[in-house]
Chain A
Amino acid sequence: METKTNFDLTGAIDSWRRQLLAQGEILPAELRELESHLRSSIDGLNRLGLKEEESFLLACRRLGHGKPIAAEFAKAKPYRLWHNRLNWLTAGVMGAYVWTTSYSFFSSVLCKNWNFAGENGWLVEIMLFASIIGGLVWVTETRMRGWWRRIGGILDSPWRIAFGWLLVVVIGQVLAYVTSQYVARPSPGSDGGLILIGASIESFWQSLTLRFGQA
């Protein structure tokens, strides 16, 4: 007689992933590879006639404990954790630079073309904040997995990181130049593309308090 089990493989793999991460310092790329192995192993055991739950348990057991695996990964590439942190740092600084440059550029264009500055300046600020943050949320929610893999691949070597930096700075400078040449009136709080993230947030708050503080 066949017994019906409610084994949730996706949930089980999720909790296995969390457990492995808690056991040792395993990086996302390493974990992805181990997960791919686990799934192949489960498939192989299923084909031998094991039930999904049994296959899962046996595959986990065969794969091993997180701590010794993490220790071996550390031996294979001693600086991998710092390399990973450096990648995050680089991504963060690049992100801030892209943010400030594009923010300044788009706010200048909006102010010039629709004359949103002055009286309606706060509207431009809100629209920009909402669209940029909305865009970021959309990217993280829907596109992050594929994108992240590609970004991770790009940032894998120090030369590529340096090249990526150069490219972002060049694009930023071109945008700043276009802003200063073709957009006569700078946006509130903008400094021709090279403003800090703090300045854009400050100008946002300023325009809000100016608008609503007086009311």
Chain B
Amino acid sequence: MIGKDLVAASSRPLILSILEDGENYGYAILRRVHELSSEQIEWTEGMLYPVLHRLEHEGLIRARWARTESGRERKYYRLSRKGQKMLEAEKGQWLAVHNTLCKLWKLRPTSI
């Protein structure tokens, strides 16, 4: 299981990257992180929403309420232009850390 601090730090690029694929809502974002990390990244589900609100407050994502076919209300988030730029910067930083660690561990680094 991945440590608390790393989970918190990675939540931002994870959310932004998932929203890069298109509009999505909280529960589906969580499911996707869960699947992609082979259940290694586990968030306290309620904690996702303050992160989403923070990203919205910073103008990195935009939100809208919509009703599903079954009549349920859902808040959908999508990436803003500013968020797209931030994601590019985040990618560079995370890959730099990743590549440094790979070199130290004598693994093959991932190219951008």
Contacts and interface: CB of A to CB of B under 8 A. Distances in A.
Given A36-B73, A149-B65, A77 B53 contact: yes
A76 B47 contact: no
Interface in B12-71: 25-27, 31, 44-47, 49-51, 53-54, 57, 65
A162 interface: no
B53 A37 contact: no
A40 B57 contact: no
B72 interface: yes
A175 B58 CA distance: 41
Chain A, interface residues (CB within 8 Å), range: 20 to 34
Contacts, number: 65
Nearest to B70: A43
A78 B37 CA distance: 32
A189 B49 CA distance: 51
A63 interface: yes
B73 A30 contact: no
B50 A73 contact: yes
Interface of A: 30, 32-34, 36-37, 39-41, 44, 62-65, 68-69, 72-73, 75-77, 149, 153
